[in-house]
């Protein structure tokens, strides 16, 4: 299976980082590893906003709650 351009860029960036480490003293290698770990720790944004999530939750759970209330009050 062929690589996508995004995979190709990621592989090239990884190869460049690893190339910098070759032959470097251990303290430099550790600092390069720490820098790459800090880059990985970036917080990722949720794919859906909280407002849409609450709306979907209300539509799904709210409909269920209203239906249960209708069933309960229909017996009285």
Q: Is the dihedral of CA 64, 70, 75, 76 positive or negative?
A: positive
Rounded mean pLDDT of 34-62? 81
pLDDT of residue 46: 80
Distance CA 13, CA 42 (A): 17
The answer, as to whether pTM is greater than 0.85, is no
pLDDT bucket at 61, cuts 50 / 70 / 90: very high
| CA 76 centroid distance within chain | 49
Instruction: Output the pLDDT for position 4.
Output: 92
Domain spans of the chain?
1-42, 44-76
- Would you say residue 20 has pLDDT above 90? no
DSSP secondary structure letter of residue 59: I
d(C-alpha 9, C-alpha 19), whole Å? 15
């Amino acid at each position: 299976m062929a690589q996508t351009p995004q995979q190709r860029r990621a592989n090239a960036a990884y190869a460049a980082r690893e190339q910098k480490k070759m032959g470097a003293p251990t303290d430099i290698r550790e600092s390069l590893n720490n820098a790459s770990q800090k880059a990985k720790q970036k917080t990722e944004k949720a794919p859906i906003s909280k407002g849409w999530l609450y709306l979907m939750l209300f539509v799904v759970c709210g409909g269920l709650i209203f239906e249960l209330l209708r069933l309960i009050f229909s017996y009285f």
